[in-house]
Amino acid sequence: MKFRNSTNNGICYCSARNYDTGATVQNFGIASKCTKSGSTGCSCDYMSSCSSICLVKFNRWASTLPYCGGYHGKLIGSITMNDCGNHFIGSIAKQCNSTQNSIKSSILTQTTSNSIEVVPFLLIRLTGTLLPSGTLLIIGGTSIVHSYSTFEAYISSSDKWIVLPSLSIPRHEHTATLLSSGHLLITGGQTTDRNIYSSCELYDSSRNTWKIVPDMSSKRSRHAAVLLKSEKVMIIGGHNGSLLSSCETYDASSNTWTLVANMMLPRMFHSATLLSSGQVLVIGGNYPNSSACEKYEPISNIWTSIASMSTGRFLHTTTLLSDGRLFIVGGFDGSKNYWQSCEVYDPQSNKWTSVANMTTQRAGHTATLLPSGKILVTGGVAGQSILDGLSTCEIYDPALNTWTSVRNMSTPRFQHIAALLPSGKILVAGGISAPFSEAYDPTSNTWTPVTKFPTFVLQNTATLLSSDKVLVTGGFNGWDQLSSCAIYNTPTNTWIPTTDMIVPRSLHTATLLSNENVLVAGGYSSIGSLKRCEVYNTMSTIWTAVEDMHVARCEHTATLLSSGHVLVIGGYDEDLNRKYLSNCEIYNFLSNTWSSTASMSTPRSQHTVIMLSSEKTLVTGGFDGSTYLSSCEVYDSKSDAWTLVASMSKARAQHTLTSLPSGELLVTGGINNGYYMADCEMYDPSSNIWTPIMNMSFPR
């Protein structure tokens, strides 16, 4: 396979081509950059920009690669040599044999040994909060490539998932704390481009709405949160580029944050547990002395050192037992040791006691206290490679001080979540694996799938039909382009599946024609950028192939002109080394023909378009393959000519462009050089002047 780089949100992604089949997969993974240009065997790291890229070439299939078990149908690979001077990293990969469909696209993750493993594109570092009703709330998370603002709930009583209003911004490594009022407080976290947040939001389940609350005093992720007996939420440690010892409390009654005493040591990936005394016990974490522990007294606002664990650990689990003791399981020492060891802390005697080891070393696992008093441990990872993920599970019996292996999960998981449901079953969700969720029954020692999690779909289209229904087509679910379509019925608030498209695609356009049918044009599929087009008949729900465009393109725009024709503008062609396009073409639905029209002054994709009049179309901003654009131009369909007009004050792509009743146009947000924007401005077509206005509260 050969990988080509593209830019999205400041991170470099790859496309992969299988030389055996010719198939191309978009956004296959994160490219790597050599820190010593031209040096054979140089070290590589994540991209922060797209310069000096070492492309990755899977130039032969490996006859043997370790651990295909649990990764059937997926690609795995590792680097065998680095040659940055020739801009290639020689590597090997193999397709694991399986009767299942292979996953065509995956993500690449860099490890300390300069190896790359390819794993499914799914969700980790999310939060799961169990409500008294048995409903599990799942918020945010990351697929490594992207962070998400998604908010879903699993209704255990009816075994179904529902989609709830999204967070205002994507985040992972945040905290979620349930207040006694039923509100849910989300604090901090970060995005995959390492933008760390101080922002917080509060979910009101009675109104199904989010409210922005004041920021914390510090940006932080990988922190801990505890609901104190005073009903305040205490935020402890974390990192903001450096390890933090600072702590603060949120008072929902006054909607205020208050700094409290710092911990004695900075730490992240630690655990924090509220004791029956009202004190807070903090254990371990990622810092040089990670065996150290301390205790916080809220009344006196004082931290006190307590006895240290027998070994340093983070990404461990801490479980409060019914007798008030704390049970610590596994973890990682930050060097190379993943622990089987477990120990118990007694707050009364301030003593640690080693107990029986697990059968398997693990970190990033879950530990769930069962009604029987036993503890179920699931998954985790036992090495620094993602291929070291675990599907194994075991149960600890405190009365007998014994571990018993139980049935494995269907797939390895780590940094996932687990929740005890009212039925007595344990639901696990997330982790870099599929299926997204499954449930364990301790009585029968069996794992069973739960109802399919709502699909994450990116790069799809949504078209408002004249019937007040919305047609949603295609998209990308993290591993495949989709042909599936659905119709949202606004009066009944229901989704209805409809006929699949002929060609799976993402990054396409969908335009409502004057005859009430919908034209889908171009996009991206497993074979590359598309010329192919098709029309959806809203009466018969049948898709019909129509004439191809002259040029394959994706991330273009399509605009219905007053004539009833469709103007397609720009985009890029992935199969021409990601050539960004200035050319345009027009579709005549009456004759089912495409005709070339005048080209723009500059190539652009991720731009926005709006009709100024029956004959004129304004194009703003976008990305030309190397530069984010502030330039704007107008197409006159009568004269078939483009004219440059005033540029925006800020270059941007993926922004919005809205026509106001005054005739002015409002531009909001977007992205520039990998950063989301809060900047907004107004355009007056009559005077050809852009005027900056007040920023939004958050970049988006």
> Pairing relation of β-strands 233-236 and 224-227?
antiparallel
| Dihedral sign for Cα atoms in the order 68, 71, 74, 78 | negative
The ranges assigned to domains in the chain are: 2-119, 216-306, 457-597, 613-700
Class of domain 216-306: mainly beta
Provide, for the chain, the percentages of residues in helix, strand and coil under a 3-state DSSP scheme, each rounded to the nearest 5: 0, 45, 55
Q: Residue 84: is its pLDDT beyond 80?
A: no
Tokens of 238: 């974390």
**164 to each of 171, 206, 417, 468, 651, how far by Cα in Å?**
16, 12, 19, 22, 33
Tokens of 507: 């990054």
pTM: 0.57
Q: Residue 39: is its pLDDT beyond 70?
A: no
Tell me what pLDDT residue 143 has. 65
Q: Residue 520: is its pLDDT beyond 70?
A: yes
Position 385 confidence tier, pLDDT thresholds 50, 70, 90: low
Q: Distance between CA 79 and CA 600 in Å, rounded?
A: 42
* Pair 338, 344: CB distance under 8 Å: no
Q: What are phi and psi of 268, to 5 degrees?
A: -140, 165
Tell me what pLDDT residue 455 has. 54
pLDDT digits 0-9 by tens, 96-116:
333 222 222 222 322 222 222
3 state SS for 480-500 = CEEEEEEEEECCCCEEEEECC
Tell me what pLDDT residue 552 has. 95
Surface-to-core class of residue 320, CB atoms within 10 Å of its CB (0-12 exposed, 13-18 middle, 19+ buried): middle
State the chain's mean pLDDT as an integer: 80
Longest CA–CA separation in the chain, Å: 88
Tell me what pLDDT residue 163 has. 73
Q: Which residue has the tokens 């690979």?
A: 77
648: Cα within 13 Å, side-chain hemisphere: 32
Task: Please tell me the CATH code under which domain 457-597 is placed.
Answer: 2.120.10.80
Position 319 confidence tier, pLDDT thresholds 50, 70, 90: very high
3 state SS for 486-538 = EEEECCCCEEEEECCCCCCCECCEEEECCCCCEEEECCEECCEECCCEEEECC
pLDDT digits 0-9 by tens, 255-312:
999 999 999 999 999 999 999 999 999 999 987 668 999 999 999 999 999 999 999 9
Q: Residue 54: is its pLDDT beyond 60?
A: no
Tokens of 350: 């301030």
**Same fold flag, 216-306 and 457-597:** no
**386: helix, coil or strand?**
helix
pLDDT digits 0-9 by tens, 570-619:
999 977 677 999 999 999 999 999 999 999 999 999 999 999 988 999 99
* Pair 222, 268: CB distance under 8 Å: yes
Tell me what pLDDT residue 80 has. 30
